[in-house]
Amino acid sequence: MSARVLIVDDEPEILDTTKWAFELAGFQVQTAASAEEALPRAESFRPEVLLIDYKLPSMNGLELLRKIRSWVPNAVAIMITGLTHQSENLEEESRRLGAADYVTKPLTLQDIDRVVLSRLKKP
């Protein structure tokens, strides 16, 4: 069975591209454009990988990660953001909450492979 991935981003092109990349690699993927969509999906889908944008409409990605951790405490969490001027503080806070990595936009397929797929590949 392939790993389950939940991608949360309010930019449709990010959702489409990352969903396509993970599906191409054989993963089960669900997407959400907001924290409100992501919370029930995380609870029912139980993802093994979380790819969460920091800047979401109603709550930031770190707040969302805190809430999702109650259902999937061991998921590989990757935070993404376009806010490069605050990246050091965001990276530190992301890691404190257990994020495995942190990447800035524009997100490339190489970033996805480097920070996510390589962590999940079996030897």
Summarize pLDDT for 71-92 with one digit per residue, the tens. Answer: 899 888 888 887 655 556 666 7
* pLDDT above 90 coverage of the chain, percent: 37
Provide the pLDDT confidence category of residue 121 given band limits of 50, 70 and 90: low
Q: Contact at 8 Å (CB) between 78 and 118? A: no
Instruction: Name all domains of the chain by residue range, CATH numbers in brackets.
Output: 4-120 (3.40.50.2300)
Locate 40 and state its tokens: 């029930």
Question: 2: which DSSP letter?
Answer: P
How many whole angstroms separate alpha carbon 82 and alpha carbon 121? 27
pLDDT at 6 over 70: yes
Q: Cα 14 vs. chain centroid, distance in angstroms? A: 11
The token pair at 22 is: 């993970």
Radius of gyration of the chain (CA): 13
Strands, DSSP E only, in 60-120?
76-81, 99-104
Q: What is the pLDDT of residues 94-111, one digit of tens each?
A: 677 677 777 777 777 787
